[in-house]
Structure 1
Amino acid sequence: MTVNGNTSTATAPGATDTPIIRLGLGRRLLARQELTLIAVLLLVGVLATLRNPSFGESDNLLQVVRAAVVTFIVACPLTLVTIGGGFDFSVGSVFTLGGVSAAYFMTHGVIWPLAILIALAVGAAVGALNAVVIDRLKVPPIITTLGTFYVMGGVVILFTHGIDIAPLPLQFDSLGTGSTLGLPNVIIAGILVGIAYHLVLERTRYGYNVRSLGGNRLAATENGIPVRRLDAWLYIGAGALAAFAGIVYAARTGSGQVGAGGASVTLTAISAVLIGGTSLFGGIGTITGTALGAILFAEIDNALAVAGIDALYSNMIIGSILIFAVAADSIRRGRMFSLKR
């Protein structure tokens, strides 16, 4: 089930020329959008450095990347969900649930590796619940995941009584605060997740099927793609990785924080996906674009902080960029379909 109700004409099982042309053009257009994002990142960096030279220092740039990691981890599976024609608003609450679940079990005698696995399973279960409601009850993804967002937010409050869970084992905390070969462990985690999702999307049959699903659901079904199973795995992955991001955040802060995540994580992750070039209408998107979107958000926040400018302007800037990105996506798709005709 798609977020936009895409009902484009189905392609017969043997007719593959049109989708191939469409995908090739989409990738060329995406490449241009990614280059534009890189140019914007460089421009913001230069302006921020001119305002305050400390922005360009290596330690500060490392902070920018570290700040982008949590958003990026949430946004990777969200990219696939959106490319597949779905949507997931629940990731912010699942983020919180993952962090507090891991913290709860660790503070109740469960060894930290097992506590992490349990928290990941909790996140995956929420994703599976989303998939069941969308597929079996035919509730649109936006409504389903928005409802799950509120339900899981309530579960977190009931579960924790609104109190952060701390302290956590030192070995667990070191995963978020330590480094390996001079690179923070948090950034390493983000790199590994990004590489894995990039390879899955660009180099596997699964990734091809996800693009086909978002491009034309009816044609994907007629070509033998297991649509229901694919949808289920997309939402399960989104739930598990949102929980993982919450666990990473808990390791960074040394506690399972009730106030972490929520609407801010959901909206930031979705915005990074869309600004990175993933189409709201499905079928088009890349992990590299999402990474650039996440870094752009972190860079803007950091640049304003370094320059001593009110953080309120960050929301205004990001909101403007988001509107521009979705408008550009609409224009891009219009050109694609006009070229097809």
Structure 2
Amino acid sequence: MNKLKLNRIWSKYSFLFSFVVLFMVASIANSQFLSYGNLLNIIRQVSIIGIISLGMSLVILTGGIDLSVGSSLAFIGGVTIITLNRTGSVFLAVIAGFIAGAAIGLINGLLITKGRIAPFIVTLGVMASMRSLILYIAKGGSIAGKVESYTRIANGEILGIAYPVFVFLICIIAVYIITTKLRVGRYVYAVGSNEKATLLSAISVDKVKIYVYVLCGLFTALAAIIESSRLNSISSASSGVSYELDAIAGVIIGGTRMSGGKGTVLGTFFGILILGVLNNMMNLMNISPYLQGLAKGIIIILAVLLQKKE
């Protein structure tokens, strides 16, 4: 009985235990790790991927996946910067970014639900399409903004803490409310747990799926606005590259089941922190950046293996 109870506790909070162990190892491995500036830097660095991961977590909870978020970020960032340059208005540029994000999410959702195409195939196609479009628009280069005030979005600070950190925390609270307090949150879990039973309960599965993909698009748009604001530019070739891997990794490491129906916002938050601490630790230890992807890949595989044993 005690062993069963321990297994349940581990299953529910494995991400927290993993974070504590990794944090302790990083603290011992390098004395600079625990400095206030370094810890703040970790949170700031994971904020963009963290925002995307929140949208990805909703998608994966329904049993779907979105491989287009990285390319979409580059495209949305390009749309935002172009709108900024043509109108001179930060407000209109931000609105344009959100519209582009919602539109991409809607396209994904409609193709998956009405077209009856697998999420992997749809989002893979959209990933290739968005990258191709922004490369064509930017002619393979970068798009620079002409309004300096736009950089305040990503570089402004409150009490020494950058705005993106606060935005990330607000998004966490928003997704927590959606998944735990709203009816649609219960529907998201229901679709991921048993789609056929959800249909028999007179719940529109298609609407739920479209909803989560549009939300994922909006979170990607928010991340794109912050990313493009940081340097007041967006790179058509490198912006958003492998962001989908990091987002999926953060969600899976945080305990969300790939088949859907199980996962928490808290888990995703710690999953992203685990990736941030891991990247930071490897940088402090001068481990080649070319090997960091290997570490992420191993962690994803281990996380899925642990889920299978639950």
User: Residues of 1 paired with 2:8 and 2:192: CA distance?
Assistant: 15
State the Cα distance separating 1:32 from its structure 2 match: 2.0
CA 1:279/1:190 → structure 2, altered by over 3 Å: closer, same or farther? Answer: same
Identify the range of structure 1 (212-221 vs 107-116) with the bigger mean alpha-carbon deviation.
107-116
Identify the range of structure 1 (158-167 vs 31-40) with the bigger mean alpha-carbon deviation.
31-40
User: Residues of 1 paired with 2:198 and 2:11: CA distance?
Assistant: 22
Say whether residues 1:34 and 2:50 are aligned partners: no
Deviations 1:122-153 (A, max 9, x none): 11101111111111221101001001100111
CA 1:28/1:196 → structure 2, altered by over 3 Å: closer, same or farther? Answer: farther
CA 1:96/1:315 → structure 2, altered by over 3 Å: closer, same or farther? Answer: same
User: Which runs of no fewer than 5 residues in structure 1 stay unpaired?
Assistant: 1-25, 333-341
Match of residue 336 from structure 1: none
Q: 2:199 aligns with which of 192, 216, 221?
A: 221
Q: 2:106 aligns with which of 109, 125, 128?
A: 128
1:55-204 residue pairs with structure 2 within 5 A? 55-204=33-182
User: Residues of 2 paired with 1:99 and 1:41: CA distance?
Assistant: 34
User: Residues of 2 paired with 1:263 and 1:163: CA distance?
Assistant: 14
Match of residue 211 from structure 1: 189
Once superposed, which parts of structure 1, at least 4 consecutive aligned residues long, lie more than 6 Å away? none
TM (norm. structure 2) is: 0.93
CA 1:27/1:211 → structure 2, altered by over 3 Å: closer, same or farther? Answer: farther
Match of residue 308 from structure 2: 330
State the Cα distance separating 1:30 from its structure 2 match: 4.9
User: Residues of 1 paired with 2:8 and 2:182: CA distance?
Assistant: 16
Match of residue 44 from structure 1: 25
Match of residue 7 from structure 1: none
State the Cα distance separating 1:232 from its structure 2 match: 0.7
SS at match of 1:81: helix
User: Residues of 2 paired with 1:191 and 1:271: CA distance?
Assistant: 19
Deviations 1:74-131 (A, max 9, x none): 0101101101111111111111112111111111124111111111111110111111
Fraction of identical pairs, as percent: 27
SS at match of 1:285: coil
TM (norm. structure 1) is: 0.85
Say whether residues 1:313 and 2:291 are aligned partners: yes
SS at match of 1:122: helix
Q: RMSD value over aligned CA atoms? A: 1.8
SS at match of 1:256: strand
SS at match of 1:54: coil
Contact map agreement 1:165 1:255 (CA 8 A) in 2: yes
CA 1:29/1:217 → structure 2, altered by over 3 Å: closer, same or farther? Answer: farther
Aligned residues: 305
Q: 1:243 aligns with which of 221, 239, 246?
A: 221
User: Residues of 1 paired with 2:98 and 2:156: CA distance?
Assistant: 22
SS at match of 2:70: helix
Contact map agreement 1:153 1:262 (CA 8 A) in 2: no
Partner AA of 1:281 in structure 2: S
State the Cα distance separating 1:29 from its structure 2 match: 5.6
User: Residues of 2 paired with 1:268 and 1:47: CA distance?
Assistant: 25
User: Residues of 2 paired with 1:302 and 1:39: CA distance?
Assistant: 15
